Structure 1
Amino acid sequence: MTFLNSAPPRGRLALIVATSLVLVAAVAFAALFLVQRVERDAALFEVETRARSDAQILANGLRSELSKFELVPRVLAEDLEVAAVVQGDRGTRRALDRRLERIAEQTGAAALYVMDADGLTLAASNWNLPTSFVGSNYAFRGYFRDALAQGEASQFALGTVSRAPGLYIAHSIVVDGRPRGVVALKVEFDEAEQVWRDSGVRAFVSDAEGIVLIASDPAWRFTMLQRFASAGRDAAADERQYGVAGFRRFAPDIPDAALVSVPVGYPAQGTAEEWNLHLLAETGPQVAAAQQTARLEVLLGLVALALVLWAAFQWRRHRQAQTRSIIAARTATLREQLTQANRLATLGQVTAGVGHEIRQPLAASRLFAENGQRMIAAGDTGGAADNFAHIAGLMERIGQITDELLRFSRRTAREPGDVQLARAIDGAMLLLRDRIEQSGVTIERPSSSLAETIVRAEPVRLEQVLVNLLQNALDAVGEGGRIEITIACDANFARLSVLDDGPGLTREEADQLFQPFATTKPDGLGLGLVISLDIMQGLDGDLVVEPSGDGGRFTMVIPLA
């Protein structure tokens, strides 16, 4: 009798084992390939996301710095001493030289100078240096011609004397309705570039034509991005402006790098001339780490699938928590920068009025000083003392204004403390005093007893919100309107309200009021109230729109101390 053997022949078993091993190896390689691809893409995405966030922070910082410099030529263009010099007053030139020197040192500007309508430099901050601009003619510069024709202009160029690259910001000097000269300020970026290099940041800034202007690597400066063509350019003009007759292609020797680009918002957001900041982020170490992680995951999966799944779950949860922590920290940083940008924008709106507030005491002080000199010469020491006392009082007034400006513009991250509401009200009224007087608006303040209410807040942030609300109220009421500031308290909170007799808000406008970019102003961005709400909530308070019979009523809810 013949029996059938149920076990497969030895050769067939070997074939099954070999086939199984081949299939397992194929699945393992396929899994390894897929996991490596996924991890590589995730690492690249994370690197690019982080780089884009870092680039945005750098761009915001650069734009904030440029905004500070933009104000200087604009304010000096309205200065009486500058106007006198461009009209031929030679006696005040040396005094203006020294004054420009002090302002340049205080602001960190490379140079600050005044030219007449023909481009001849009359006074400069570097008047006593071998590289002095005094006597030089810059009528050939584009920023001079554009500022004279359009009121203000900027241009990035190589210095004709220093041969140092920098940004020239210019503003025309208008006297009796016609341009009589130009105030120009030069900003050099060597310190910013050195900071980038020291921190290991590979960044550069290009203009609308793709020309690299500012770079962490000096070899990149005055090269041109690949997507822009340099053919057909005026070589002689490029030689005068940039010191190069032909631009090399931008080709950084950085393997495995991701390039992210964000707009700087200069000269103006969304314009054809806007600068762009670019950041090169090295991806090699992150990709290599991601590939190593993939190999480990696959190996552990083959040894013990359950252990791998558990480890992958834990790793992913930790990674998500770390990412959330990073995003939260950077969101807080961006929120602080946005708040500071709003504060600087508000400061720019009141600068002209503050300039008027300062010019009047200065002019009066000069007259008192001249009278005092004559009285001393005539032997009237008592009258001279009275004049000098008037001067001291006027200087104290100027000091109050400038102290308030410096305090309001200073970046702040202090913890909340005990603050009198009167401090915020007084600061806001001081900043907006000129606009209030010019518009003829009546503002009723709360009683002194209520204004002495002490709350738990940060003074500058509290004042920033109140300035925003008062400016909105001034826009709403127009000339000759009425605004009232009231204070009411309950057990835990003080409610500081700004009421106006303007046209008020529709229900639709009120519902969308705290949505970003929702605005009723033709030239508004719709961010002021959003930032103000964020500030109040950060102080454990709130900002609300309350029903009002006529006009608008905005209320700041502030914790009591």
Structure 2
Amino acid sequence: MSGAAQRRRKRRIEWLVFAALSLASLALAVWLAGNYGTRQAAEALRAQAAGSATLDIAVLRSELEKQRTLSLVLSRDPDVLATLSSPDAARIGAMNAKLESLNAGARSAVIYLIDRTGLAIASSNWKEDISFVGTNYAFRPYFTEAVAKGDTEHFALGTVSQRPGLYIARRIDGPGGMQGVIVVKVEFFSVEEDWHRSGAIVYVTDPRGIVLLTSQPEWRFMAQAPIAAEEAARIRSSLQFGDSPLTVLPIRRSQASTPGADFVSLRGSGLHLASASKVPTTSWQLHLLEPAARALAAGAATLRSITFAVVGATLVLLGILLHRRQRAIARTAELTEAQIELEHRVEARTLDLSQSNALLSAEIDERRKVEAKLQTARDELTQANRLAILGQITAGLAHEVNQPVAAIRSFADNAAIFLDRSEPVPARQNLATIAGLTEKIADIIAQLRSFARKATGDVGPVPLRDVLDGALLLVGIRARRQGAEIDVDPVADDLRVAANRVRLEQVLVNLLQNALEALEGRAVQAIHIGIAGEGDLVRLTVSDNGPGLAPEVTAHLFTPFTTTKPGGLGLGLVISKDIVEEFGGRLEVESQPGQGCRFLITLKRAEKEG
């Protein structure tokens, strides 16, 4: 087999090995990326579920505390005690009207007054067909427990209304001892409707695992786990949940569950992320089932696509390098074969030296020409190799770091000249300037790292000057390159606001970036940052002389997906508004077409810690 055929066979083998390794590497990378993307999506879902659960619990607690306060106030109301002490028709009529008015204002289900025998003598629904007046509730657990303990809360199905709710009962004591019990029934249908509209499945269970509140009405009074027959019979006999069968919820733990991320599957609803949180001041637990199948698939698909593109491009580059390497080796082999053949021809010519001096001279000349060609080929190969190595070396420094470095070199040279002249004072000044420039470089890097770090979310006293300096450092490079002027009002060193530094910087950077984008291409580009203190409030404004916004855009500017940018998502200002409101502040906008745009941030003034 000739050398050329051997080289072709070797190249084919190399390409087969390269293709096999490339396909294996690509498949492995895409598989690993899919797993990692799924885990990241699960973490994002957990964070979203935690936030949703906190909000749902806050809404539930707000409703509970309002009704608890109502029952407490009524238990100490002189009119209520007077009605129990002397239940004549006039007082009962006045009490019915009072309870009816309070019930409408507090948006409770019903409020009723029970005497010491358990008989309801006044009720907010006294006009209705299902009036509680005249009904004896001595058998109800909330009455007996309130009499014994002073107050109690009991969730049950109404014996008259057949509607579920929480009965908040408080004992009313008078000079002669226990006079009666005031009961406020709370129904949570509006809360459940809000949960249903959120898209997630939300339900609340008691210590036995029985569902009390739920965004899925068909789940009410179902259980998380099978209840023992004896316990189920006792519950049914108490009429707490009527004749509900107490069947088990249609929830099954999924094999996709991982530590910290509990996935469950629902019949007909697919995969969900499950989380449970205790409802403070109660014995309840709030459970949240967040739809997860689509989010997990999207997370895996996104990372797989990115990985496929990056690894695929890398493999294509490696294939090009392999092709060039094979060509270089083939060219070297051809030159080597040519050199060997030349040597054979020289030997053959040498044997003919004795026959003709003329032929010998011709052979020598030819050999010199071939050697010259060989040397030229070697030089070209060396040059190509050198260019290939140089092509792999890339370096660059950011513009803002490059300027201080050049200045450091200049000041260092000047310092050496001053030292040669025995002038230590200006030399020391140059060295101090060098130190300042290095600090500037360190500040740039430190600020970028600080801005990229995850905010803890804690709110406390934050120096406003530090926040402004950080935001201006981040957007200053773009502003200078764009030719925009940023004017800032003087800020007192001790001026502090209640916020989180990294998150407040995020808001300012977002507003400044929007202003710079609005000013692009304008002859005069001006941005003004104003600071004003008004009592316990600090007002921070960011205004520009850009084209402004149309009234229809301004009206919906803080609505998700409202944007004036061609490729924008319309989420930046929505997120900024949420951040400011988390600090207890406000974010507002004022704009007219052709008159620029002005954003107003109102924050609470904070005192210095310590």
Q: What TM-score does the superposition give when structure 2 sets the normalisation length?
A: 0.49
Say whether the 8 Å CA contact 1:121–1:133 is kept in structure 2.
Answer: yes
Whether 2:291 is the aligned partner of 1:282: answer: yes
> Take 1:323 and 1:123, find their aligned partners in 2: how far apart are those partners?
61
Check if 1:258 corresponds to 2:273.
yes
Equivalent residue number for residue 457 of structure 1: 536
SS of the residue aligned with 2:131? coil
Change beyond 3 A, Cα 1:307–1:230: farther
1:104-143 superposed matches below 5 A? 104-143=103-142
The one-letter amino acid paired with 1:63 is: R
Q: Which structure 2 residues correspond to residues 378-393 of structure 1 after superposition, within 5 A?
A: none
Which residue of the partner structure matches residue 303 of structure 1? Answer: 312
Give the CA deviation at 1:54.
0.9
Q: Which amino acid aligns with 2:22?
A: V
User: Equivalent residue for 1:291?
Assistant: 300
Q: Secondary structure at the match of 1:241?
A: coil
- Relative to 1, partners in 2 of residues 1:177 and 1:304: Cα closer, same or farther, differing over 3 Å? farther
Q: Distance in 1 between matches of 2:246 and 2:29?
A: 48
* Larger Rg belongs to: 2
Within 5 A, what are the aligned runs for 1:40-439?
40-90=38-88, 91-176=90-175, 178-226=177-225, 229-235=227-233, 237-238=235-236, 240-251=239-250, 252-253=266-267, 254-267=269-282, 274-305=283-314
Residue among 30, 33, 36 paired with 1:35? 33
Q: Secondary structure at the match of 1:302?
A: helix
Q: CA deviation at 1:457?
A: 2.7
The structural deviation recorded for 1:303 is 3.4
The CA deviation string for residues 531-552 of structure 1, in whole angstroms up to 9 with x for no partner, is: xxx879952231766xxxxxxx
1:251-285 deviation digits (Å, cap 9, x = unpaired): 14321100111111132xxxxxx111111111112
- The alpha-carbon distance between structure 1 residues 323 and 543, as it changes in their structure 2 partners (threshold 3 A), is closer
Q: Report how far residue 455 of structure 1 moved.
A: 5.7
Structure 1 residue 176 displacement after superposition: 1.9
1:286, 1:322 → 2: CA distance?
25
Matched AA of 2:296? V
The answer on whether the counterparts of 2:236 and 2:242 sit within 8 Å (CA) in structure 1 is: yes
Deviations 1:58-109 (A, max 9, x none): 1012112211110111111111221122224213001000000000000001
- SS for the counterpart of 2:172 is strand
Residues 40 and 456 (structure 1), Cα distance of their counterparts in 2 relative to 1, 3 Å cut: same
1:539 matched to 2:604? The reply is yes
SS in 2 for 1:103: helix
The letter of the residue matching 2:280 is G
CA offset digits 1:397-442 (Å, max 9, x no partner):
xxxxxxxxxxxxxxxxxxxxxxxxxxxxxxxxxxxxxxxxxxxxxx
CA change 1:88–1:49 in 2 (3 A) is same
Cα gap change, 1:303/1:276 in structure 2, threshold over 3 Å: closer, same or farther? same
Residue 163 of structure 1 aligns to a residue whose secondary structure is: coil
State how many pairs are aligned.
327
After TM superposition, where is structure 1 displaced by more than 4 Å over at least 4 residues in a row? 9-13, 320-325, 534-538
Q: Distance in 2 between matches of 1:307 and 1:6?
A: 26
CA contact (8 A) 1:114 1:181 kept: yes
Measured against aligned partners, the alpha-carbon deviations of 1:431-478 in whole angstroms (never above 9, x if no partner) come to xxxxxxxxxxxxxxxxxxxxxxx96236xxxxxxxxxxxxxxxxxxxx
Instruction: Give the whole-Å Cα distance in 2 for the aligned partners of 1:28 and 1:234.
Output: 57
Aligned to 2:17: 19
Contact 1:230–1:246 (CA<8 Å) still a contact in 2?
A: no
Please say if residues 213 and 222 of structure 1, whose CA atoms lie closer than 8 Å, have aligned partners that are also in contact.
yes
| Aligned residue type for 2:299 | A
Q: 1:12 to 1:4 in 2, by over 3 A?
A: closer
CA distance 1:81–1:58, shift in 2 (3 Å): same
Q: Normalising to structure 1: TM-score of the pair?
A: 0.54
Please state how far the C-alpha of 1:299 moved relative to its aligned partner.
Answer: 2.1
The answer for unaligned runs of 5 or more in structure 2 is 251-265, 318-449, 460-532, 538-582, 586-601
2:181 aligned counterpart, secondary structure: strand
The answer for unaligned runs of 5 or more in structure 1 is 268-273, 309-319, 333-453, 459-533, 546-561
Is the partner of 2:295 in helix, strand or coil?
A: helix
Q: Counterpart of 1:232 in structure 2: which amino acid?
A: E
Distance change (3 Å), C-alpha of 1:26 and 1:307: closer
Letter in 2 for 1:258: L
Cα distance in 1 between the residues matched to 2:46 and 2:453: 13
Q: In structure 2, do the counterparts of structure 1 residues 544 and 302 end up closer, same or farther at CA, with 3 Å as the change threshold?
A: closer
Aligned equivalents of 2:179 and 2:294: distance in 1? 59
Q: Is this contact kept in 2: 1:52–1:261, CA < 8 A?
A: no
Post-superposition offset of 1:112? 0.2
1:497-516 aligned at under 5 Å gives the runs: none
String of CA shifts for 1:190-241, please: whole Å, max 9, x gaps: 1111122233232111111111111111011111113x64443142533611
Is the Cα contact below 8 Å between 1:230 and 1:247 reproduced in 2?
no
Alpha-carbon distance in 1 for matches of 2:77, 2:120: 17
SS at match of 2:605: coil
Which residue identity does 1:72 align to in structure 2?
L
Aligned to 1:540, what secondary structure does the other structure show? strand
Question: Residues of 2 paired with 1:83 and 1:198: CA distance?
Answer: 43
Give the RMSD, CA atoms, in angstroms. 3.2
Query: For the residues of structure 2 that align with 1:307 and 1:203, how far apart are their CA atoms?
Result: 50
What letter matches 1:120 in structure 2? L
Q: CA offsets, 1:349-402, max 9 Å, x none? A: xxxxxxxxxxxxxxxxxxxxxxxxxxxxxxxxxxxxxxxxxxxxxxxxxxxxxx
Shift of 1:129: 0.4
